[in-house]
Amino acid sequence: MTYDVVIIGGGLAGLTCALSTLQKGKRCAVIAGESSMLSFSSGSLDLLNALPDGTPASEPLKAIDTLKQQSETHPYTKIGVKSFIEKAAQAEMMLNELGCKMQGSSLKNHYRTTPVGLAKPAWLSFDGMLATETPDKLPFNSVQIFYPMGFLDFYPRFIAEEWIKKGVQVETVPFFMSKITRIQRIARIINKNNNAEAAAVPACIEQFDKLRELVNRPVYMLATMPPSALGLNLEKILRRKIIELGGDIFTEDKAVKAEWEGNKIKTVYSQKMGNIPFRGEKIVLATGGFAGRGLKATRTGIVEPLFNLDIEQDDNRENRVNTQVLQKQPYMYFGIKTDNSFRAVKNGNVTDNLYVAGAGLEGFNPAEEGCGAGVSVLTGLYVGEMF
């Protein structure tokens, strides 16, 4: 099977990369795994919340200059200021064209509400999610949170606790919901219990747009713990568009080996396609970090399991981790070494046609810097546009 571009990995980076190559009229295949990390999404995408040294960055486009000085290997530094601004705008446009209505922009971060009620900066949030301009102000003075009884992955009590601190009156209203409960019924429940200015529901309720039409006051979506319905929905939309544009997605498959010709990958083999090789002018590796199984830690070191690429890491095992949980973890910075155009490095040599996009890259910390989704989308687009 011969393509212009073969993309390994079906997460956010792989899919956006496929989309941008297809839009340029190239033939493209995606070898996608069972599930992507999009199911762990919060329903919002982040671009840049803080610089590597910890300074908050409320206006990502302005902060990018400083970031460049702080980190040489950061993917955003490699993309460059000009392309960063361009690609961020392009991503916003692309999502809009796909029919994913989003709130927010790369000019200024807004604040989303997390499943436990805290306010966290974000770049884009799905339409309908509660997004505010400042962390301490809500768009209502009283609210009712409606949630399905017995649903364990949503914490109205935590959210109420945080909102009450902000001076808002909160009431939590559990209601009975089964597989066959129709959206009209939920709307009726919300309309009948009209005790507050606004209503909020967990983001696991389908047909939210319809609910918003049927309810007589503002309704907001609140993120839940995974699986994230919004993240999976985004994945579905991206996949659908890729197929529409003529791309091939090999789902629940896994690249297993490659044949090299000097510094160039000649063919890639996958588990399901057996000995039928994928040939591509360019190969993109977007298999993710540790969580997405694109990187693998062993007792002795970190490896990239598919091509055994060079990894930026610390040889001392003790230095890989911070003993305090939820603080700066050194292992998060580890990743595949690339040159400035995201070509992978193997045995000290830059490869000819193997590009890397997404969470597997070196030099950034998605948790501390709040840039996981942004790195995936922007490097995906950047690598895809290059061809």
What x-and-dash track marks residues 91-130 binding another protein by CB under 8 A? -----------------------xxx-xxx----------
Residue 187's SS3 state is helix
Residues in contact with 327: Cβ distance below 8 Å, sequence separation at least 6, in sequence order: none
320 is a contact residue toward another protein (CB under 8 A)? yes
Instruction: For residue 338, list its beta bridge partners.
Output: 344
Among 34, 101, 176, 276, contact with another protein (rule: CB under 8 A): 176
Binding of another protein by 347 (CB under 8 A): no
Query: Which positions from 351 through 370 interact with another protein, judged by CB under 8 A?
Result: 366-367, 370
Cα separation, 14 vs 102, in Å, equals 21
Q: Strands 198-202 and 142-148, how do they pair?
A: parallel
258: nearest Cα among 243, 246, 266, 268: 268
Backbone angles phi, psi at 249, to 5 degrees: -110, 120
**Between residues 357 and 371, which has the closer beta carbon with respect to another protein?**
371
- Return the residue of 233, 329, 350, 385 that touches another protein, per CB under 8 A: 329
What minimum distance in Å lies between the beta carbon of 152 and another protein? 5
* One residue of 290, 312, 314, 386 binding another protein per CB under 8 A: 290
What distances in angstroms separate CA 241 from CA 97, 197, 224, one per listed residue?
10, 38, 26
Q: Which stretch binds another protein (CB under 8 A): 26-34, 249-257, 304-312, 319-327?
A: 319-327
User: Interface with another protein includes 299 (CB under 8 A)?
Assistant: yes
Q: Residue 311: CB partners within 8 Å, gap ≥ 6?
A: 295, 301, 302, 303, 304, 334, 335, 336, 337, 362
Query: How do strand 248-250 and strand 198-202 relate by DSSP bridges?
Result: unpaired
Applying CB under 8 A, which of residues 296, 308, 340, 341 lies at the interface with another protein? Answer: 296
Q: Which residues bind another protein (CB under 8 A)?
A: 37, 40-42, 114-116, 118-120, 149-150, 152-155, 157-158, 174, 176, 223, 225-226, 289-291, 293, 296-299, 317-318, 320-321, 323-327, 329, 331-332, 366-367, 370, 372
